[in-house]
C-alpha cells in the first residue's frame, strides 16, 4: 500500500519535545514531552534519558501538566512546575525517581524554579497584588457580578493570551527545599524575571522595567540583588531592553541579551558581558550582523524561554543561538568578540543545554523531516548523536514533502531566500496549484524547521511557496529594518517577485491556480495583496489586520506598534495609517477570500477581520468568515487541538473550492 502524506488529523499524533536540561554530571537529560490525549487535550510530562540510551522514559505520571524541570546542582533532586494541586506550583522529586513533593503553596501559584548553588533553596516566580504577601491565604470567595467590573487607568491593561491583566506583579521569592518560605526577594509595582544565582549563593540576578511609567518606557534593566542586604544594583543604563542575565561560573562577570532599541522591535538582539570588577559592559556581538536568538517560526510548539548567553565552564566564552539565512545554529562568542559556529546545518536549533562538568551539549532540533528531537553534541570531537525519535514510528508510514531552498533577485536587486515544496504524489509532466504562505511578525524568519501546516497543504495536492521578504530576521540589521514605515511596499513586491521566479523556474506550477495565505502580519499582507492585485485565484487571511486606525486602540500593542512599525501615530498622522490600511482599498477586492479569526485574539482583535468581511460582503463579493471560540492569537500553534484541525480543514476546503 502506498504511503500517504501528513493530514490535519495527524496533529493528534505528534509528540512535541522541549526544554531539555542536561544533568550536572552530563550523563542524563530531562525534558518535557507534550502530546494530545484521546480527549484532544494537551498533556505535558517529564521524560528522562541517559546519553547512552536510545529510549526515553517517563519520569512523571498522572493527569497533571508537568513542565520546567531543573536539576539541583548536586544532581540529586529535580524541581519542576505542576498543576496537579489545581494551579501551577513548584514540586520536587528525587532524581532517581520516587514520590513528588509540593514545596510551594502560594496563593497565585509559582513558576520558573532556580536552584541555589548549595541545592538547599529554590528561587521561584510568583505574582502578588499590592496588599498580598507570600503567605496570603487563597480564599475561594464567590464574587458578585459587580465585583467583577474591571477598572483601569493604564493603557496596557490587556494582553493576548492573558486577557484583562490583573492588578498584580511578578516577583521573586526564596523557598527552602522543604517548602519553608525564606523571603520575598523583589517588591514594588514592577514585573521581575529571574536570571540565576551567583556561585557563592549570596546574590541573584533579575531583569525588570522599574520606570515610573513602565508602559511608556518599553525598557528593561538588569539588576544584581544582594540577598542578605536586600539591596539591588542596576548594571545597565536604562537605554534598551535587556534580559536573560547569567553569572559566569567564576562569579567575575555577567552575560545578558538585549538591544538598545535603535530600530525599535526591529533591532537585532545582541550578547553583552558586564565585568563586576571594572563595572564596564561590552557587546561581544557588536561586529556580528546576526540576531542572537532563535527567531524561526514553526507550528510545532518549540517556543521555549531562551537560555540566554550561557557561559562555558572556564568563564571565557559564551554559547548562544543565532538565526541567519533560514537556519538557527549554535555559536560561541569569546570575550575577544570572536564568533564561531559550533554546530550548524540546515535546521532550527530551538533549545540547548550544556554541562559545566562534561563535554556534551544537548540540542533540541527541528528540520524538514523532524518535528523536534534531542541530540547530544560533543564540544571537542564535534560529533553528534541522536537521542530521541519522538515521531519516527508513525512518520515512517507517511510521505513527507521536502522543501527545496532557492534565492532570487528581487525588484531592487536584493537577494531573497525562499523554499518551495512539491505536492505529495508529484508526477513529472503534470500541473499543480500553488499556495503562497506569508509569515507573521514581520520580524521573524521562515526556516528549515518542520511545518505541519505546509505538509497538510502538500498532502492535499498543493505546492507550497514561502519566503523571507524584507522585514524578516536572519539577513542583517538593514534587511530587517527595511519594512518599517513601508508596509505593503518592498515586502509586497518581494512576494510578487517570488511568485514570478517560481513560475519561471518550476514548470509544474499551474499559472492559473495560485492561492495565498498568512497570519498576523502575514494576514495584513494577504489583505494587502487582494486589495492591490487580482493575480491570486483564492486567499485565506488569518488573525489579520485591515484597519490600522482602529488597531491603534483595540490591539494590546496597537498604541506603540503603529509608531514603531508604520512610523505613524493616530494622534499625529492618521492619514498615513489609513493609507497603509487594506480596508481603504477594499473596493478593489475580486479574489474569493476566507477570513479566519479567533474570538479572544487581543493582538489582532477580531474586529479587524469583521470590518474586512462586512466591506467585502456589502459589495456582494465572495467571502466567508470563520470565528474560533475561546481562542487567541496563537490558535495555529498552541490552540485547542480540535480547533487547530478545524482551521486547517477550513483552509484546505477553501482552496479546494476556488483553486
- What are the catalytic residues? 520, 633
Residue holding cell 518535528? 371
**Rounded CA gap, 172 and 187, in Å?**
8
Omega within 30 of 0 (cis) for the link into 442: yes
**Rounded CA gap, 499 and 416, in Å?**
12
CB count in 10 Å sphere of residue 280? 9
**Rounded CA gap, 555 and 564, in Å?**
14
Residues 244, 309 contacting (CB under 8 angstroms): yes
Residues 177, 92 contacting (CB under 8 angstroms): yes
Question: Grid coordinates standing for 214?
Answer: 513602565
SS3 assignment, position 46: strand
Any long-range contacts for 369-374 (C-beta under 8 Å, 24+ apart)? 369/395, 369/400, 369/402, 369/450, 370/450, 371/14, 371/15, 371/16, 371/300, 371/450, 371/452, 372/16, 372/17, 372/18, 372/300, 372/302, 372/450, 373/17, 374/17, 374/20, 374/29, 374/31, 374/49
Taking alpha carbons only, the member of 241, 200, 199 closest to residue 222 is: 241
Which helix (H) or strand (E) is 472 found in, with range?
Answer: none
Any long-range contacts for 573-582 (C-beta under 8 Å, 24+ apart)? 574/549, 577/548, 577/549, 577/552, 578/548, 578/549, 580/487, 580/488, 580/548, 581/546, 581/547, 581/548, 581/549, 582/488, 582/524, 582/527, 582/528, 582/530, 582/531, 582/545, 582/546, 582/547, 582/612
SS3 sequence of 373-415: EEEEEECCCCCEEECCCCCHHHHCCECCCCCEEEEEECCCCCE
Q: Phi and psi at residue 397, in whole multiples of 5°? A: -95, 5
**Rounded CA gap, 539 and 542, in Å?**
10
Alpha carbon separation from 202 to 103, 104, 228, 451 (Å, rounded): 22, 22, 7, 45
Residues 577, 558 contacting (CB under 8 angstroms): no
488: DSSP letter: T
Q: Phi and psi at residue 418, in whole multiples of 5°? A: -150, 180
Q: How many CA atoms lie within 13 A of 428 on its CB side?
A: 0
Amino acid at each position: 500500500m502506498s504511503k500517504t502524506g501528513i493530514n490535519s488529523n495527524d496533529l493528534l499524533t505528534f509528540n512535541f519535545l522541549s526544554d531539555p536540561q542536561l544533568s550536572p554530571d552530563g550523563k542524563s537529560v530531562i525534558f518535557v514531552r507534550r502530546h494530545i490525549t484521546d480527549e484532544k487535550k494537551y498533556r505535558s510530562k517529564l521524560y528522562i534519558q541517559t546519553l547512552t540510551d536510545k529510549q526515553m522514559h517517563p519520569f512523571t505520571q498522572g493527569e497533571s501538566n508537568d513542565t520546567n524541570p531543573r536539576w539541583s546542582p548536586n544532581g540529586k533532586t529535580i524541581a519542576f512546575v505542576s498543576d496537579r494541586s489545581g494551579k501551577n506550583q513548584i514540586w520536587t522529586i528525587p532524581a532517581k525517581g520516587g514520590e513528588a513533593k509540593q514545596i510551594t503553596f502560594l496563593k497565585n501559584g509559582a513558576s520558573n524554579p532556580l536552584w541555589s548553588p548549595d541545592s538547599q533553596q529554590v528561587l521561584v516566580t510568583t505574582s502578588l497584588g499590592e496588599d498580598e504577601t507570600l503567605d496570603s491565604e487563597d480564599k475561594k470567595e464567590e464574587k458578585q457580578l459587580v465585583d467583577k467590573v474591571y477598572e483601569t487607568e493604564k493603557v496596557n491593561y490587556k494582553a493576548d493570551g492573558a486577557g484583562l491583566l490583573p492588578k498584580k506583579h511578578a516577583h521573586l521569592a526564596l523557598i527552602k527545599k522543604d517548602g519553608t518560605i525564606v523571603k520575598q526577594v523583589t517588591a514594588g509595582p514592577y514585573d521581575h524575571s529571574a536570571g540565576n544565582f551567583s556561585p557563592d549563593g549570596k546574590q541573584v540576578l533579575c531583569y525588570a522595567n522599574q520606570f515610573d511609567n513602565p508602559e511608556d518606557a518599553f525598557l528593561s534593566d538588569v539588576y544584581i540583588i544582594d540577598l542578605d542586604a536586600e539591596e539591588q544594583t542596576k548594571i545597565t543604563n536604562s537605554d534598551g531592553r535587556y534580559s536573560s542575565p547569567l553569572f559566569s561560573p567564576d562569579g567575575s562577570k555577567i552575560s545578558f541579551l538585549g538591544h538598545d532599541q535603535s530600530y525599535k522591535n526591529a533591532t537585532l538582539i545582541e550578547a553583552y558581558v558586564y565585568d563586576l570588577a571594572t563595572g564596564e559592559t561590552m557587546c561581544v556581538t557588536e561586529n556580528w550582523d546576526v540576531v542572537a536568538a532563535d527567531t524561526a517560526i514553526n507550528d510545532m510548539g518549540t517556543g521555549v524561554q531562551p537560555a540566554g548567553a550561557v557561559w562555558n565552564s572556564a568563564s571565557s566564552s559564551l554559547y548562544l543561538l543565532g538565526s541567519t539565512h533560514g537556519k538557527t545554529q549554535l555559536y560561541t562568542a569569546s570575550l575577544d568578540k570572536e564568533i564561531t559556529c559550533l554546530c550548524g546545518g540546515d535546521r532550527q536549533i530551538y533549545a540547548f543545554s550544556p554541562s559545566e562538568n562534561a563535554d556534551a551539549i544537548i540540542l533540541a532540533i527541528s528540520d524538514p523531516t523532524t518535528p523536534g528531537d534531542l541530540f547530544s553534541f560533543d564540544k571537542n570531537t564535534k560529533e553528534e548523536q541522536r537521542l530521541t525519535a519522538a515521531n519516527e514510528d508513525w512518520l515512517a508510514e507517511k510521505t513527507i514533502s521536502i522543501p527545496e531552498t532557492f534565492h532570487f533577485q528581487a525588484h531592487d536587486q536584493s537577494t531573497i531566500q525562499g523554499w518551495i515544496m512539491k505536492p505529495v504524489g508529484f508526477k513529472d509532466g503534470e500541473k499543480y496549484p500553488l499556495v503562497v504562505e506569508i509569515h507573521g511578525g514581520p520580524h521573524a524568519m521562515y526556516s528549515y524547521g518542520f511545518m505541519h501546516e505546509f505538509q497538510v497543504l502538500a498532502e492535499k495536492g498543493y505546492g507550497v511557496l514561502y519566503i523571507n521578504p524584507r522585514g524578516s530576521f536572519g539577513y542583517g540589521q538593514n534587511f530587517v529594518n527595511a519594512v518599517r514605515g513601508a508596509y505593503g511596499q518592498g515586502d509586497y513586491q518581494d512576494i510578487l517577485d517570488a511568485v514570478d521566479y517560481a513560475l519561471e523556474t518550476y514548470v509544474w506550477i499551474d499559472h492559473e491556480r495560485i492561492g495565498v495565505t498568512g497570519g498576523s502580519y502575514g494576514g495584513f499582507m494577504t489583505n494587502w495583496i487582494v486589495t492591490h492585485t487580482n493575480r491570486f485565484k483564492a486567499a485565506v487571511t488569518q488573525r489579520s489586520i485591515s484597519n490600522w486606525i482602529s488597531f491603534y486602540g483595540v490591539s494590546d500593542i496597537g498604541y506603540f506598534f503603529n509608531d514603531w512599525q508604520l512610523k505613524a501615530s493616530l494622534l499625529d498622522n492618521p492619514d498615513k495609517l489609513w493609507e497603509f490600511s487594506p480596508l481603504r482599498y477594499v473596493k478593489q477586492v475580486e479574489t474569493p477570500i476566507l477570513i479566519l479569526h479567533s474570538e479572544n485574539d487581543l493582538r489582532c482583535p477580531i474586529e479587524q477581520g469583521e470590518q474586512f468581511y462586512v466591506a467585502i460582503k456589502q459589495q456582494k463579493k465572495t467571502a466567508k468568515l470563520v470565528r474560533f471560540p475561546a481562542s487567541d492569537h496563537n490558535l495555529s500553534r498552541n490552540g485547542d487541538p480540535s480547533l487547530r484541525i478545524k482551521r486547517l480543514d477550513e483552509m484546505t476546503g477553501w482552496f479546494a473550492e476556488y483553486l
